Amino acid sequence: MRSLREYAIVTGAYWAFTVTDGALRMLVLLYLHSIGHTPIQIASMFLFYEFFGVVTNLVGGWLGARIGLTSTLFMGLSLQIVALLSLSAPAAWLSVPYVMGSQALAGIAKDLTKMSSKSYVKLVVDPDDPAALMKWVSVLTGSKNTLKGVGFFVGAALLSLVGFQSAVVGMAAVLAVTLVASLLLLPWGAGQSESKPKFSTVFSHDPRINLLSAARFFLFGSRDVWFVLALPIYLGATLNWSFYETGGFLALWVIGYGLVQASAPRFAGKRVRGKVLPPDAAALGRWSALLTIPLGLLIGALIYGAAQGPTLVIGLSLFGVVFAANSAAHSYLVVHYADEGNVSMVVGFYYMANAAGRLVGTLLSGVVFQWWGQGQAGLVACLITSMGFVLASCLLCEPLKRSERRAQVGSMAGPSTP
């Protein structure tokens, strides 16, 4: 196992990256909407971010196994710096194709960095201690999302205080310092596989990984179908919230979501004899089903004329708590199912499905919201679409439970003797 010091440095670099990633998302969204781009145009600009996240997760896990996790981390930080500097161009350059290109670089950077950091957990935790693994994964994932929420607020604040171009240049400078420190303090090649895996091994043959990945696709699609575009544009255009108010609410939502994730080991697993053990597929199914409650209440309240601002704040906060528990259970299970020798490829494949869900959710967020009028009807349509995604994720937990039981029986039986 690698040293905890190395892992702390990797995590610190991931945290710095995460703040800039959240800030960049808010900067691009609010700035481009303020200069007249439509929801569908803005959604199309984010499509490359999500699409190249799919590609990067597919290739990145294989690349990490071949050249090492710290090497892919360095690559991710470098690409984010290039993406940020490309957006510092004059406003007249920020056409749809140009911003799509910069977002493609940011998408590659984000998933190289995330895959490297999350895979590193497997290298520092005792493989025979699932409770410790759950704790470390939850803390990393929760802190990441908390800092991404901070990034949302930072992005909205920077847009108001210093403007778009100055904000992206300043964030690039911070990441450049982070990159130099990482290069000096981390070894090249940590997490590199002893063998050189073929690219064909990227695709998982474990039914648990495949089913969990499919459930993750629908889980994150259910969030992004209203979160990415419909909600922030609705808050600003319909409820007349300012940049600070919109960015602040989204930031607090993600921060709260991250804090719940970090504390998930205390409540998200299965309870046995008064103790909370790490979650299994059955626990994941229960948490997935619970997501339908806040969504159903929120849709009903909006349709029947409840006060929009308080209804959204309360309903989406409840959704965020349950969603955070789901995400924490997912993140633990994928690392738990993976073998140490192929963890980067398993995590890469799994987060490919995550990125694909975000891609589809982002596209639908713009399309559904605009087609249904961009007002309350559009937001409700996005929430109904979210409900459909949640139900699909719930259904996939049933075959996952069966696959998990078969794997446990096979593990207990051990290898057959000739």
Residue 412 has pLDDT above 60, yes or no: no
Helix (H) or strand (E) holding 297: helix 292-303
Residue 170 has pLDDT above 90, yes or no: yes
Average model confidence (pLDDT) across the chain: 82
Q: Which tens digits make up the pLDDT trace of 330-370? A: 888 887 787 655 666 777 778 788 888 988 998 898 889 88
- The structure tokens listed for 268 are 């998200």
270 conformational bin, left if phi > 0, alpha if psi -120 to 50, beta if neither: beta
Rounded Cα–Cα distance for residues 200 and 307 (Å): 53
| The predicted structure's pLDDT at residue 169 | 94
pLDDT (mean) for 18-37: 82
The residue among 86 and 156 whose pLDDT is bigger is: 86
Rounded Cα–Cα distance for residues 387 and 291 (Å): 8
What sign for the dihedral angle of Cα 40, 45, 51, 57?
negative
Reduced to 3 DSSP states, what percent helix, strand and coil does the chain have, rounded to the nearest 5?
A: 80, 0, 15
Amino acid letter, 54 = V
Contact 277, 269 (CB under 8 A): yes
* 240: phi then psi, degrees, rounded to nearest 5: 60, 35
Kindly indicate the confidence band of residue 1, based on its pLDDT and cuts at 50, 70 and 90: very low
Q: Give the range among 32-46, 83-97, 186-200 with minimum mean pLDDT.
A: 186-200
Q: Which residue has the tokens 């808050």?
A: 235
Q: Give the range among 164-178, 228-242, 291-305 with minimum mean pLDDT.
A: 228-242
- Greatest mean pLDDT range, 145-154, 198-207, 303-312: 303-312
Q: Which residue has the tokens 């989406």?
A: 316
Q: Which tens digits make up the pLDDT trace of 63-104? A: 766 777 778 889 999 999 999 999 888 877 777 788 888 888
Q: Which of 416, 5, 401 is nearest to 215 (CA)?
A: 401
Which segments of 338-375 does DSSP mark as H helices, in order? 343-371
The residue among 141 and 9 whose pLDDT is bigger is: 9
Rounded Cα–Cα distance for residues 99 and 269 (Å): 41
Q: Which tens digits make up the pLDDT trace of 379-410? A: 999 999 999 999 999 999 999 999 988 887 76
The residue among 114 and 202 whose pLDDT is bigger is: 114
Q: Give the range among 49-58, 230-239, 340-349, 365-374 with minimum mean pLDDT.
A: 340-349
**Domain range summary for the chain, segments of one domain joined by +:** 4-187+204-409
Which segments of 125-227 does DSSP mark as H helices, in order? 130-161, 164-185, 207-227
* CATH architecture of the domain with range 4-187+204-409: Up-down Bundle (1.20)
Kindly indicate the confidence band of residue 197, based on its pLDDT and cuts at 50, 70 and 90: low
Which residues make beta-bridge pairs with 275? 272
Q: Which tens digits make up the pLDDT trace of 280-336? A: 888 899 999 999 999 999 999 999 888 888 899 899 999 999 998 898 888 888 877
- The structure tokens listed for 256 are 């709260």
Q: Which of 280, 277, 268, 276 is nearest to 208 (CA)?
A: 280
Residue 110 has pLDDT above 90, yes or no: no
